[in-house]
Amino acid sequence: MMENKQYNKFYKKIKRPSALFQIVIVALVLGSFVTFLNIYELRKLQMDHLNLHIANPEAVSESFSKKSPVYWIFGKQIDSGYLDHVMRVLERVGYVRGTNNSNWDLLWAHDYPFGSVKGLDSLKSHQMVNKFPGSGWITNKLSLATSNIKQAPKAFKIPSEKDAFFKYAKKYPLKKWVQKSNNHRGIRIRSVDELDFSTGNTFVQEYIDNPYLIDGKRFDIGIYTTLVSVDPLRVYIFDGDWLMRYCAKDYYPFDAADVKKYVVGDDYTPTWKMPSLKKAYTDLMFTHRESFFHFVRSKNDSVIKLTNQIHEAIRNVYISKVSSLIRSMSSYGGTSNFFEMVRFDFVVDKDLNVYLMEVNMSPNLSTAHFSQNRLLYEQVLYSMFSLTGVAKTVANNWIKTSRHAYEMQISERDIHVNIEHCDSPQCTKNCAIIECQLCKWCLNQEISSDLQRAYKEHMNRNRWRRVFPPPFGNQKNALSWKKDTYFDKLSEKNKLLFLWFRGKCVQDNRWCA
């Protein structure tokens, strides 16, 4: 209460300056009075903004009658076992299971819920859904393969790009092809003559035929990725471990008719059965990824080259789809209600070039085949619930009712950056310069809320690593960074978020990565 009294006294002073004071100001400089009024208006706006977090009576009674947050699941045969880890981790972070009729906090949708579940366009602020409207822009195989992502193998839509395909195939007669459709399970290498050009909605994609091999086996790499916001865009990847799956059979002697040589199926070879990896994984207790990195380094190959390409590919996919995602979001009010975790699958060629194969919606987190994957799946889930705020760090009944409880997590002082700019005459005079828009007097309410969310995510990111906005790596890079064409292409909101992360990195190098 003490804090509040002082706070109010301070504002009263500003609200009712002495009459003499006003007269002097008016008489001397009319202009500065106008500025003063503007500042007062801004202050008031900011106060109103803070008031949003103060109790409303309804929230109090609701939260006291319901201690534990509630989740429910949308999907088929949800109790058949494939969601066991999801349920277990949710229960460990304090959730209880309910139904669509409960006053729920989290909808875990295994299937795409938009269009099927009612009310998703009018969610309350505490309700979260693990899917984004329009996420098919990312996970649809056709949409992904044919959107000219640098790291995706060349692809042609059939039938519309049939002619272009023939031209290309003629120019590169040695290339091999696979044909895919959205509901494909099981791909197979085909020659041009074997491809089917009569069925619609498929595509033909170049097959990467010079794979990096470990113990003679081709493999793929699964990167768990979480989209937390589309406007502005924020994307994180799971950095605790990667899903490493090696083919069931040796690649050579090659035989296109035997898919077990080049496609990863349910019966893939796990890390602990790979002669060159099992010591690191089993005896030395390293992760799948570190065991793999150890092998790559032993061949004098660069793991940095590999990870950089993976980060860039994921970034490129979201950048290329962000305007479509924003359009799909437009009929779903609060953007802070949604997040979505997917898995990006990559293959690697012998020169350590990375190729994006697909992005899986609702990646399989079942340990029915390999119980050893429990650790990976549960760490992915646990860390994701932390990143997204699904796992509460403050008891439920306080979150919605107390400004102080909110401020101990994130206060206005946590989000201000670029003090030299903000304290310069340039920024105190006007807000036109983009750097000034992050300063106290210019920061608008919407951007302020975005920054608060971004701050909380960063603090709670656990094993996740941000890929967009791209990290600077270190303070030196952040300080020497100049606006470039990449920056110019960003939307205004994304520019501000980018500059804000840069500002945080300059303040504190823990924000640089």
Ligand X SMILES: *[C@@H]1O[C@H](CO)[C@@H](O)[C@H](O)[C@H]1NC(C)=O
Part in contact with ligand X (CB under 6 A); list of ranges 175-183, 278-286, 364-372, 467-475 = 364-372
> Three-state SS for 498?
helix
Starting at the edge strand that comes first in sequence, how are the strands of the sheet with 155-158 ordered? 155-158, 202-207, 176-181, 189-190
Check binding of 118 to ligand X (CB under 6 A): yes
Query: What's at 34, amino acid-wise?
Result: V
Dist. CA 221–CA 213, nearest whole Å: 13
Q: Please, what is the minimum distance in Å from the beta carbon of residue 358 to ligand X? A: 13
- For residue 429, the tally of other CB atoms under 10 A from its CB is 12
Instruction: Report the residue number, 369 or 476, with the smaller CB distance to ligand X.
Output: 369
Check binding of 299 to ligand X (CB under 6 A): yes
Short-list 262, 161, 259, CA closest to 204: 161
Q: Please, what is the minimum distance in Å from the beta carbon of residue 502 to ligand X? A: 37
Instruction: Report the residue number, 184 or 369, with the smaller CB distance to ligand X.
Output: 369
Check binding of 404 to ligand X (CB under 6 A): no
For 118-160, give the DSSP string: TTTTS--TT-EESS-TTTHHHH-HHHHHTS--TTSPPEEEETT
Q: Please, what is the minimum distance in Å from the beta carbon of residue 133 to ligand X? A: 17
Dist. CA 37–CA 43, nearest whole Å: 10
Part in contact with ligand X (CB under 6 A); list of ranges 63-71, 362-370, 376-384, 466-474 = 362-370
Give the sign of the dihedral formed by CA 29, CA 31, CA 32, CA 33.
positive
Part in contact with ligand X (CB under 6 A); list of ranges 19-27, 250-258, 360-368, 452-460 = 360-368
Beta bridge partners of 226: 236, 341
Instruction: Report the residue number, 223 or 422, with the smaller CB distance to ligand X.
Output: 223
Q: Please, what is the minimum distance in Å from the beta carbon of residue 213 to ligand X? A: 14
Which two tokens mark 143? 């949409």
Residue in 61, 77, 101, 198 binding ligand X, rule: CB under 6 A: 101
Q: Please, what is the minimum distance in Å from the beta carbon of residue 179 to ligand X? A: 21
Beta bridge partners of 129: 107, 338
What is the per-residue binding string for ligand X in 26-65, x denoting contact by CB under 6 A? ----------------------------------------
Q: How many helices (H) and strands (E) does the chain have?
A: 21, 14
Instruction: Report the residue number, 6 or 102, with the smaller CB distance to ligand X.
Output: 102
Residue in 6, 38, 51, 100 binding ligand X, rule: CB under 6 A: 100
Dist. CA 157–CA 179, nearest whole Å: 10
Total residues at interface with ligand X (CB under 6 A): 11
Taking CB atoms, the residue at the shortest distance from ligand X is 369
Q: Please, what is the minimum distance in Å from the beta carbon of residue 464 to ligand X? A: 23
Check binding of 116 to ligand X (CB under 6 A): no
Check binding of 350 to ligand X (CB under 6 A): no
Give the sign of the dihedral formed by CA 75, CA 78, CA 82, CA 87.
positive
List phi, psi (to 5°) of 125: -65, -25
Q: Please, what is the minimum distance in Å from the beta carbon of residue 129 to ligand X? A: 13
Q: Find out whether 457 and 415 touch, Cβ atoms under 8 Å.
A: no
Instruction: Report the residue number, 118 or 510, with the smaller CB distance to ligand X.
Output: 118
Short-list 435, 298, 428, 512, CA closest to 38: 428
Check binding of 483 to ligand X (CB under 6 A): no
Part in contact with ligand X (CB under 6 A); list of ranges 127-135, 308-316, 337-345, 361-369 = 361-369
- For residue 186, the tally of other CB atoms under 10 A from its CB is 8
Q: Please, what is the minimum distance in Å from the beta carbon of residue 267 to ligand X? A: 9
Residue in 54, 368, 479, 513 binding ligand X, rule: CB under 6 A: 368
Residue in 61, 198, 300, 371 binding ligand X, rule: CB under 6 A: 300
- List % helix, strand, coil for the chain (3-state, nearest 5): 45, 15, 40
Q: Find out whether 243 and 343 touch, Cβ atoms under 8 Å.
A: yes
Beta bridge partners of 251: none
Instruction: Report the residue number, 107 or 347, with the smaller CB distance to ligand X.
Output: 107
Residue in 13, 150, 369, 429 binding ligand X, rule: CB under 6 A: 369
In terms of DSSP H, where are the helices of 330-437?
374-388, 396-399, 403-407, 412-415, 419-422, 425-429
Residue in 282, 366, 409, 460 binding ligand X, rule: CB under 6 A: 366
Part in contact with ligand X (CB under 6 A); list of ranges 172-180, 247-255, 311-319, 365-373 = 365-373
- For residue 288, the tally of other CB atoms under 10 A from its CB is 24
What is the per-residue binding string for ligand X in 255-294, x denoting contact by CB under 6 A? -----------x----------------------------
Beta bridge partners of 503: none
Instruction: Report the residue number, 266 or 492, with the smaller CB distance to ligand X.
Output: 266
Give the sign of the dihedral formed by CA 171, CA 172, CA 178, CA 180.
negative
Check binding of 364 to ligand X (CB under 6 A): yes
Summarize as ranges the residues that interact with ligand X (CB under 6 A). 82, 100-101, 118, 266, 299-300, 364, 366, 368-369
